[in-house]
Amino acid sequence: LATPPSLYETVPLNLKGVALNLEGMEMEGMKSGSRRIIVEKPFGYDLESAVKMNSVLKSVFNESQIFRIDHYLGKETVQNILALRFANSIFEPIWNRHYIESVEITAVENMGIEDRGGFYDGVGALRDMVQNHLIQLLALVAMEPPVIFGEQEFRDEVVKVYKSLKPLSDQEIPARVIRGQYIAGEKRGEMAKAYREEKGVRHDSQTETFLAMRVDISNWRWEGVPFFIRTGKQMPTKVTEIIIHFRQTPHRLFSCRDNCPEQNQLIIRIQPNEGIVLKYDVKIPGSGFNVQQVPMEFTYDKIGELSDDAYSRLIEESLSGDSTLFTRSDAVEASWNYFDKVLRFWENHPETPLYGYPAGSWGPLESEQITGSEKGWTNPCKNLTNTNLYCEL
Ligand code: BG6
């Protein structure tokens, strides 16, 4: 179903009409084999439509025949979050509220909406990126280790994270969810047009092309640790990364001159310059006792080539019937249950600011405030070590 979403109910019902949903049927003396359907996002437009879509799909197929595809789960570097956490013993003991202060998840792009105005307008960043890709990344960082890496066990843990998301109240939403829309601006020396001037976009569109928000998880491991997520179109660069900010040492023994060290950080770079960076402090050589922060870095180009085709990997898995890396219906609904409150709030409070930000900038300044720290969001360009990649500080 890589079709317009309006056909997501029609197609399955018509497949049923010609019995293409049934497995093991006798047909012309032969038994039909597997019958599977791959469903491309969006899985619904809000909670209500997602529930309806699930019920139509399930009236035609068994859950084991339905493969809801989220291409982020096909990315090697996304899958590697699981290896990093669960194949190593050194991270897990500190992977909790005692040692982690906050988590930042950024997935920004330097393109506008290209020729997708017809689809994107009225959908926006929350539905296009946050409710699926970004919350999926958050789940991989926050989940408990599954008992085995099996279809049900892994996805049970994802759903548990979604069910632990602390519901946002109407009072919290304006300060915790910042939305923006790009206006005309200069990008790498060229003028980029405003979102409202793009093909297929209404001239008074209220669709957000940028979203930054604070998400809290209510459970034993994460109580009190904010997860900051942001996404945007027409940003200075294209980058997806997760930064785990560890807490400050309880007592500062050493002084620093300028460039004082920050807290330890573990940076999981999903794209580009794929890899993992651990930032820690060392003594500055020479007299005196001052420290500075240095990166310890692994990049994938050191161990092999990364395929950038997440879809082919996932399609292969669906052909072999393995749905571990596909979204289960209860996960779709649990995630919508959380984000629906934001959508309803915007609907009922159209006066909620939709901040304009110039194309080529890092989004509305107001989004810096939600981090609650003077430093604001980390500029991903600071962490890039591959200097061939274009990035703007
Ligand atoms: C898609 C969204 O799911 O993901 C697009 O619909 C977005 O708007 C894309 O550009 C981003 O994917 P990637 O793999 O380039 O980060």
In tens, the pLDDT along 257-296 reads 666 667 899 999 998 888 999 999 888 888 888 888 888 9
**DSSP string over 46-115:** SHHHHHHHHHHHHHHS-GGGEEEE-GGGG-HHHHHHHHHHHS-SSSGGG-STTTEEEEEEEEE-S---TT
Asked whether the bond before 250 is cis by omega within 30 degrees of 0, the reply is no
Q: Is 40 in the pocket of ligand 1 (CB under 6 A)?
A: no
Q: How close is the Cα of 383 to the center of ligand 1, in Å? A: 22
Find out whether the peptide bond into 42 is cis, omega within 30 degrees of 0.
yes
- Taking the centre of ligand 1 as the mean of its atom positions, its distance from the CA of residue 13, in whole angstroms, is 28
- Ligand 1 atom with the smallest distance to the CA of 113 is 8
* Model confidence at 343: pLDDT above 60: yes
Contacts of 370 (CB under 8 A, 6+ apart): 175, 176, 178, 212, 213, 214, 228
Query: What is the distance between the alpha carbons of residues 272 and 276, in angstroms, rounded to a whole number?
Result: 11
Question: Which residues of the chain form beta strands (DSSP E)?
Answer: 26-27, 30-31, 37-40, 66-69, 100-108, 177-183, 185-187, 190-192, 210-215, 227-232, 239-246, 265-271, 275-283, 291-299, 354-358
Average pLDDT over residues 5-30: 87
Q: For ligand 1, pick from 43, 71, 110, 135 the residue to mutate: most ligand atoms within 8 Å of CB.
A: 71
DSSP β-bridge partners for residue 265: 245, 279
Count of beta carbons in the 10 Å neighbourhood of residue 20: 14
Is the minimum distance from the CB of 106 to ligand 1 under 6 angstroms? Answer: no
Looking at every residue in the chain, the average pLDDT score rounds to: 91
Of 247, 208, 237, 147, which is closest to residue 356 (Cα–Cα)? 208
User: Which pLDDT belongs to residue 364?
Assistant: 95
CB atoms inside a 10 Å sphere around CB 260? 13
The verdict on the CB of residue 264 being under 6 Å from ligand 1 is: no
How many whole angstroms from 365 Cα to the centroid of ligand 1?
24
Q: Mean pLDDT check: name the lowest of 22-36, 186-200, 317-331.
A: 22-36
* Neighbour tally for 25: CB within 10 Å: 13
Distance 93 CA to ligand 1 centre (A): 33
Ligand 1 binding pocket includes 70 (Cβ within 6 Å): no
Tokens standing for residue 36: 């599977």
Q: Are 13 and 37 in contact (CB under 8 A)?
A: no
Give dist(CA 363, CA 350) in Å, integer: 20
Q: Give residue 69 CA to ligand 1 midpoint distance, Å.
A: 13
Q: Which two tokens stand for residue 3?
A: 């079709």
Instruction: Report the atom number in ligand 1 closest to the C-alpha of 120.
Output: 8
Query: Can you give the pLDDT at residue 375?
Result: 79
Torsion over CA: 281, 83, 310, 132 (sign): negative
Ligand 1 pocket, residue 241 CB under 6 Å: no
Residue with tokens 């202060």: 101
Q: What is the pLDDT of residue 279?
A: 92
Among the listed ranges 91-105, 242-256, 317-331, 337-351, which one has the minimum average pLDDT value?
Answer: 242-256
Q: Beta 177-183 vs 185-187: how paired, if at all? A: unpaired
**Averaged pLDDT for residues 202-231:** 97
The CA 348 to ligand 1 mean position distance, Å, reads 28
For residue 240 and ligand 1, the question of a CB distance below 6 A is answered with: yes
State the pLDDT confidence band at 16, using cuts at 50, 70 and 90: very high
Pocket test for ligand 1, best of 69, 116, 129, 182 (most atoms within 8 A of CB): 129
Question: Which residues are registered as beta bridge partners of 356?
Answer: 181
What is the pLDDT at residue 258? Answer: 60
Q: Which of 133, 134, 240 to mutate to test the pocket of ligand 1 (most atoms within 8 A of CB)?
A: 133
Instruction: Provide the β-strand partners of residue 293.
Output: 281
Residue 40's identity, in one-letter code, is E
Could you tell me if the CB of 164 is within 6 A of ligand 1?
A: no
Nearest residue to 295 via CA among 243, 218, 337: 243
For the stretch 232-245, pLDDT in tens is: 999 999 999 999 99
pTM of the model: 0.94
Would you say residue 31 has pLDDT above 80? no
Q: 322 CB less than 6 Å from ligand 1?
A: no
Q: How far apart are the first and last CA of the chain?
A: 40
Q: 104 CB less than 6 Å from ligand 1? A: no
pLDDT at res. 374: 77
Using alpha carbons, select from 353, 343, 363 the residue that is nearest to residue 124. 343
Q: How far is CA 270 from the centre of its chain?
A: 10
| The residue type at 246 | F
Q: Which DSSP state fits 209?
A: S
Cα–ligand 1 centroid distance for 129 (angstroms): 7
Residue with tokens 């006798």: 26
Query: CA-based diameter of the chain, in Å?
Result: 87
Task: Supply the residues annotated as catalytic.
Answer: 133
For ligand 1, whether the C-beta of 392 sits within 6 Å is no
Q: How far is the CA of 184 from the centre of ligand 1 (A)?
A: 22
Quick one: pLDDT at residue 332?
Answer: 96
Q: What is the pLDDT of residue 187?
A: 84
Q: What is the pLDDT of residue 222?
A: 98
**pLDDT tens digit sequence for 150-188:** 999 999 999 999 999 999 999 999 999 999 999 999 988
Ligand 1 atom closest to residue 111's alpha carbon, by position in its atom list = 10
Q: Is the pLDDT of residue 383 over 70?
A: no
